[in-house]
Structure 1
Amino acid sequence: MTIAESFDVVVVGSGAAGAMAALRSADLGMKVLIVEKAHKFGGTSATSGGVMWIPNHGLDGDAGDSRESALRYLDATIGVPVNRERLEAFVDEAPRMLHFLKSTGVQVLAAAWPDYYPDRPGARADRSVIVPTFDGRRLGDGRYALMREQYNRFKLFGRYAMDLTETFALMMQSKGWRTVAGKMIGRYWLDRGTRKVSHRDKRFTQGAALMGATYEQVFQRGVELRLETSLERLLSDEGGQVTGVEVSSFGRRYTIGARHGVVLAAGGFEWNQELRDRFFPIPGLTRHSSTPEDGNRGEALIAAERVGASTEHTEQGWWIPTMTLPMKGASNFHEIHQAAFDVGRPWSVVVNRKGVRFVDEACGYDQFGQAMVRDQLETGANMPCWLIFDAKFRRKFSAGGLMPTVHTPEKKVPADWWDHYVFRADSIEDLARKIHLPVEAVTQTVANMNAYAKTGIDPEFGRGMNPYDQMFGDPSSTPNPNIGPIDTAPYYAVPINNGDLGTKGGLRCDARARVLDQAGNPIPGLYAAGNNSGTPFGDTYPGAGATIGPGMTFGYVAANDIAERSGNQRGMEAGRPGEVRAYASTPA
Structure 2
Amino acid sequence: MSTPETYDVVVIGSGAAGATAALRAAERGLSVLIVEKAHKFGGTSAASGGVIWVPNHQFTPNDDSREKSLAYLDALIKKPVKRDRLEAYVDQAPEMLRFVKSMGVPVSPAPYYPDYFPTAPNARVDRSVICETFDGQLLGPRFPLMREQYARFKILNRYAMDVMQFFAISTRGPGWIKTFLKMAWTYWSDLSTRLLTKRDRRFTQGAALMGHLYKQIFDRKVEVRLATKLDDLIVTDGKVSAVTVNSYGRRYNINARHGVVLAAGGFEWNQELRDRYFTVPGLTRHSSTPEDANRGEALIAGLKVGADVEHTESAWWIPTMHIPMESRSNFEDIVQAAFDVGRPHSVCVNRNGHRFVNEAGSYDEFGAAMVADQVKTGANTPCWLVFDATFRQKFTAGGIMPTILMPDRSIPPDWWDQYIFRADTLDALAAKIHVPTAALKKTVDDMNQYAASGVDPQFSRGANPYDQMFGDANVKPNPCLGPIGNAPYYAVAINLGDLGTKGGLKCDAQARVLDASDKPIPHLYAAGNNSASPFGNLYPGAGGTIGPGMTFGYVAANDIAARAGKV
The TM tier, using the shorter chain, reads: over 0.9
Give distance in 1, aligned partners of 2:232 and 2:413.
48
Q: Distance in 2 between matches of 1:543 and 1:312?
A: 21
Partner of 2:148: 149
Equivalent residues in 2 for 1:484-523, closer than 5 Å: 484-523=482-521
* Match of residue 442 from structure 2: 444
Matches within 5 A, 1:341-352: 341-352=339-350
Task: Report if aligned partners of 1:513, 1:529 keep a CA contact under 8 Å in 2.
Answer: yes
Distance 1:442 1:230 in 2: 49
Amino acid at match of 2:488: P
Q: Distance in 1 between matches of 2:158 and 2:343?
A: 26
The reply to whether residue 245 of structure 1 matches residue 243 of structure 2 is yes
Amino acid at match of 1:234: L
Pairing 1:158-197 to 2, within 5 Å after superposition? 158-197=157-196
* Partner SS state of residue 22, structure 1: helix
Q: Give 1:294's aligned amino acid.
A: D
Matched, 1:70 2:98: no
Aligned-residue offset at 1:313: 0.3
Secondary structure of the residue aligned to 2:507 is coil
Alignment correspondent of 1:96: 95
Match of 1:327 among 325, 328, 333: 325
Q: Is the 8 A contact 1:243 1:257 kept in 2?
A: yes
SS of residue in 1 equivalent to 2:316: strand
Aligned pairs (5 A) from 1:226-265: 226-237=225-236, 239-265=237-263
Q: Is the 8 A contact 1:3 1:257 kept in 2?
A: no
Q: For 1:145, what is the secondary structure of its paired residue? A: helix
Aligned partners of 2:4 and 2:549: how far apart in 1? Answer: 31
The equivalent residue for 2:467 is: 469
Q: 2:526 aligns to what? A: 528
Call closer, same or farther: CA 1:228–1:372 in 2, change over 3 Å. same
SS of aligned partner of 2:145: coil
Aligned-residue offset at 1:2:
6.8
Between the aligned partners of 2:105 and 2:263, the Cα distance in structure 1 is 21
Q: Determine if contact 1:3/1:256 at 8 Å carries over to the other structure.
A: no
**Does the 8 A contact of 1:159 with 1:200 survive in 2?**
yes
Render the CA deviation track for 1:318-357: whole Å, top value 9, x for unaligned: 0000001011101100000000000000000000011010
- Render the CA deviation track for 1:225-246: whole Å, top value 9, x for unaligned: 1001110100111x32000101
**Secondary structure at 1:270's aligned position in 2?**
coil
1:559 matched to 2:534? The reply is: no
- % identical aligned pairs: 65
User: Which whole-Å deviations, capped at 9, do the CAs of 1:266-308 have from their partners, x for residues lacking one?
Assistant: 0000000000000001100000000000000000100010000
Partner of 1:135: 135
AA in 1 matched with 2:492: V
Q: Determine if the alignment matches structure 1 residue 206 to structure 2 residue 205.
A: yes
- Report the alpha carbon displacement of residue 107 of structure 1 after superposing the two structures with TM: 0.6
Q: SS of the residue aligned with 1:245?
A: strand
Counterpart of 2:28? 28
Cα displacement (A) at 1:497:
0.4
Please give the alpha-carbon distance, in whole angstroms, between the structure 1 residues aligned to 2:83 and 2:349: 38
Unaligned runs of 5+ in 1: 570-588
Cα separation, 1, equivalents of 2:238 and 2:382: 45
Q: Is the 1:42–1:211 Cα contact (8 Å) retained in structure 2?
A: yes
**One-letter identity of the residue aligned with 1:381:** A
Q: Alpha-carbon deviation of 1:568?
A: 1.4
Alignment match, 1:311: 309
Give deviations 1:62-108, integer Å, cap 9, x for gaps: x1110001000000111000000000000000000000000011111
Q: Which residue of 1 aligns with 2:104?
A: 105
SS in 2 for 1:34: strand
Instruction: Give the C-alpha shift of residue 167 in structure 1.
Output: 0.8
1:302 equivalent in structure 2: 300
- Residues of 2 paired with 1:394 and 1:379: CA distance? 29
Compute the displacement of 1:202 (Å). Answer: 0.6
CA distance in 2, matches of 1:118, 1:187: 36
Q: SS at the partner of 1:167?
A: helix
Match of 1:56 in 2: 56
Q: Which amino acid aligns with 1:26?
A: A
The answer to whether the aligner puts 1:126 opposite 2:137 as a matched pair is no
- Corresponding residue of 1:578: none
What SS is found at the alignment partner of 1:247? strand
Aligned to 1:224: 223
Instruction: Flag as ranges the 4+ runs of structure 1 deviating above 4 A.
Output: none
CA distance in structure 2 between the aligned counterparts of 1:105 and 1:525, rounded to whole angstroms:
29
User: What amino acid is the match of 1:459?
Assistant: P
Q: Distance in 2 between matches of 1:291 and 1:316?
A: 15
Partner of 1:573: none
Residue by residue over 1:462-503, the C-alpha shift from the partner in whole angstroms, topping out at 9 and shown as x without a partner, is: 000011101111111110000010010000000000100000
Counterpart of 2:295 in 1: which secondary structure?
coil
Q: Tell me the distance in 2 between the aligned counterparts of 1:169 and 1:554.
A: 34
Within a 5 Å distance, the mapping from 1:405-484 to structure 2 comes to 405-484=403-482
Task: Give 1:359-438 correspondences, 5 Å limit.
Answer: 359-438=357-436
Match of 2:14 in 1: 14
Measured against aligned partners, the alpha-carbon deviations of 1:104-131 in whole angstroms (never above 9, x if no partner) come to: 1111110020000111111100000000
CA distance in 1 between counterparts of 2:177 and 2:430 reads 36
CA deviation after TM superposition for structure 1 residue 207, in Å: 0.2
CA shift for structure 1 position 197 = 2.1
Q: Is the CA contact 1:320–1:498 (under 8 Å) kept in the aligned structure 2?
A: yes
Question: Normalising by the residue count of structure 1, what TM-score does the alignment of the two structures yield?
Answer: 0.96
Amino acid of the residue matched to residue 411 of structure 1? R
TM-score using structure 2 length: 0.99
Matched residue, 1:40: 40
Query: Which residue does 1:541 correspond to in 2?
Result: 539
> Shift of the alpha carbon at 1:3?
4.7
1:18-70: CA deviations, max 9, x gaps?
00000000000000000001000000000000000000011113x11100010
Which amino acid in 2 is paired with 1:37?
K
Give the total of aligned pairs. Answer: 566
**Cα distance change, pair 40–343 in 1 and its aligned pair in 2 (3 A):** same
Deviation at 1:196, TM superposition (A): 2.1
SS of residue in 1 equivalent to 2:8: strand
**Partner in structure 2 of residue 579 of structure 1:** none
Provide the C-alpha distance between the structure 2 equivalents of 1:253 and 1:103, rounded to a whole number of angstroms.
Answer: 38
How far apart, CA to CA, are the structure 2 residues paired with 1:444 and 1:532?
Answer: 44
Does residue 4 in structure 1 map to residue 8 in structure 2? no
Residue 175 (structure 1) shift: 2.1
> In structure 2, what is the Cα distance between the partners aligned to 1:513 and 1:51?
21
Look up the equivalent residue of 1:288 and give its one-letter code. Answer: H
The answer (yes or no) to whether the contact 1:358–1:371 under 8 Å persists in 2 is yes
Contact conserved, 1:51 with 1:207, CA < 8 A, in 2? Answer: yes
Q: Cα RMSD between the aligned structures?
A: 0.8
Cα distance in 1 for partners of 2:505, 2:376 equals 30
CA distance in 2, matches of 1:432, 1:379: 19
**What are the Cα deviations for residues 132-156 of structure 1, in whole angstroms up to 9, with x where unaligned?**
101011111x111100000011101
Say which SS state the counterpart of residue 293 (structure 1) adopts.
coil
Structure 2's unaligned 5+ residue stretches are none
SS at match of 1:99: helix
